[in-house]
Amino acid sequence: MILLFFFILGSIWGSFSNVCIYRLPINDGIALSRSSCPSCKKVIKWYDNIPLISYIVLKAKCRNCDFQISSQYFIVELLTAISFALVYFIFGLSTTTVILLILIVFFVIIFFIDLKHYIIPNQLTFPLMFIGFVKSFDPNLNQALFPNYLNSLIGGLTGYFIIWLIIFLYKKVRNKEGMGLGDAKLLSAIGFWFGWMSIPFVIFFSSLIALIFVIPSLVKKSRNLSTEIPFGPYLIIGCLIFIIFGNDLKLILFTL
């Protein structure tokens, strides 16, 4: 029953995440108005806005005008719901669970905003940095996963500096922008959350995965080396790999 509760809770936060994903890039207030159909502009009734269920019942269409609802809404709600349930299943009822649930919501919103708009809003990265650093003072958190405050501070500064340096050098060599500072702030937030040891692993795996996804389009010439790609989602995937396999990766590194 508790597992089901966290699944439902995750779907509700997934619905809220969808609001943020839609409104933050256009600077629309998150809580200023109720959700409405992008086509007919009619306010969506509460019974048509039930996470996961309404999408299925309405067959992905607006009740009033049959406007096709993006599958992103369902995917975000389902992804968040499953993530909440998994975190509870692994860490139980604990402070670590609460902290990771907060991280999940931020990561989901950042992932889909950057994927669609190629931006990572400061309204997301700055609070994420702050929470990541403040929580490092709590000795009751999972010490194998979360760093102490000094490790956290070094991680935050290191994460930002590395991306900033890449941007600086790329601009000097190519005389144009490469990555954005949003990526630097996101990697800084990851450093604050998981310490300086996480940075090389996150950079390695995010770059590797990005390369795997980009190579086919380069071969087909549907994009070139100058084509902009959203790197935030790859940083998040790299961070998730570190969260899941971080202890094993650090053990392998120290035994080499």
Lowest mean pLDDT among 73-87, 144-158, 242-256: 242-256
Scan for tokens 């933050």, then name that residue: 24
Please state, in angstroms and rounded to a whole number, the distance separating the CA atoms of residues 78 and 10. Answer: 8
pTM, two decimals, is 0.90
Supply φ then ψ for residue 129, to 5 degrees: -60, -50
How confident is the model over 87-130, as pLDDT tens digits? 999 999 999 999 999 999 999 999 999 999 999 999 999 999 99
The strand pairing partners of 43, in sequence order, are 36
Return the percentage of the chain with pLDDT > 70, whole number.
91
Distances (CA, A) of 138 to 54, 94, 234: 40, 13, 29
How confident is the model over 204-223, as pLDDT tens digits? 999 999 989 888 877 776 66
How confident is the model over 129-141, as pLDDT tens digits? 999 999 999 888 8
Mean predicted confidence (pLDDT) in 15-30:
85
What pLDDT score does 142 carry? 80
Average pLDDT of the residues of the chain: 88
Please state, in angstroms and rounded to a whole number, the distance separating the CA atoms of residues 220 and 225. Answer: 12
What pLDDT score does 225 carry? 61
